[in-house]
Amino acid sequence: MELAGTTKAITVSHHAWFTLAILSSTLLTVFFSETMLLPAIPEIIKDFNISYGTAAWIFSAYLIVAAVMTPVAGRLSDLYGKKKILLTLLIIYIAGLAAGGFADNISFLLATRLIQGVGLAAVPAAFSLVRDTFPPAKLAMAIGVFGSAYSAGSVVGLLAGASIIENFGWHATFLTIVPFAALVTLMIAKFVKKNGAGSIDYCQSFRKNLEQKTRIIFHRHQRRTRTFCYDNLISNCAYPYTDRCKL
């Protein structure tokens, strides 16, 4: 029976792999968007007549806000649900992307980058759902697939970004990614189960198993104690009748 339970525990459904593909698209979309912006830096410096030091804040402000928001998003996920927070962060990210496409000065562009930084916390939120969906035996493989989306998004983003900037201008780097991000958000809302629902709750299974074994050990010990007390009472041995032997 235990062997059958172990085999069942490491089985991963097709829906779990499909969920992984959708959640990995979150990481793919984010880094696709960010690397698309890299070739646009010289154009932004020229259009806004700013220094390289000021241009560095286009990425620095984004990353600082993302670093601050990551633990905050984690706490909110515990309170309100991981899927709900993930969808909220993606909507914020999409709003930041759309606003960035209409930036006409560096201050407005930096403001939109701050909004996008808040949305970047969707990546660890998506990773958390991946962990809930897969059993520990398959989690390493799932993390590998999820992490590979970073490389894929970076490579495709650089190639596509250069072409888009050359033909349509740097504003298009933000607007181009909006439909993809919206599609990923809709797919998460429709197909990803809430907080990994439907997957095996391994902590709960372990807790129930531990409680069951503890109960068995307790009952065995109780039976032995009762037998010991009865034997000593009947045989009128040197062991006195104490509270421990009361039945």
CATH of residue 153's domain is 1.20.1250.20
pLDDT given for residue 194 in this prediction: 77
Asked whether residue 119 falls in the same domain as residue 233, the answer is no
Asked whether residue 24 falls in the same domain as residue 120, the answer is yes
Q: Residues 178-193: what's their mean pLDDT?
A: 94
Asked whether residue 60 falls in the same domain as residue 175, the answer is yes
In angstroms, rounded to a whole number, what is the distance separating the alpha carbons of residues 225 and 243?
12
Asked whether residue 224 falls in the same domain as residue 148, the answer is no
Residue 223 included in any domain: yes
**Higher pLDDT among residues 198 and 232, named by residue:** 232
Residue 4 included in any domain: no
Asked whether residue 43 falls in the same domain as residue 89, the answer is yes
Residue 3 included in any domain: no
How do residues 54-107 score in pLDDT, each as one tens digit? 999 999 999 999 999 999 999 999 899 999 999 999 999 999 999 999 999 999
Asked whether residue 136 falls in the same domain as residue 234, the answer is no
Asked whether residue 226 falls in the same domain as residue 173, the answer is no
Asked whether residue 127 falls in the same domain as residue 228, the answer is no
Residue 125 included in any domain: yes
Residue 2 included in any domain: no
Residue 69 included in any domain: yes
Residue 95 included in any domain: yes
What share of the chain in percent tops pLDDT 90? 55
Asked whether residue 184 falls in the same domain as residue 129, the answer is yes
How do residues 11-49 score in pLDDT, each as one tens digit? 778 888 999 999 999 999 998 888 999 999 999 999 999
**Domain around 227:** 203-245
In angstroms, rounded to a whole number, what is the distance separating the alpha carbons of residues 241 and 247?
11
Residue 1 included in any domain: no
User: How many domains in the chain?
Assistant: 2
pLDDT of 134 higher than 50? yes
pLDDT band at 211 (very low <50, low <70, confident <90, very high): low
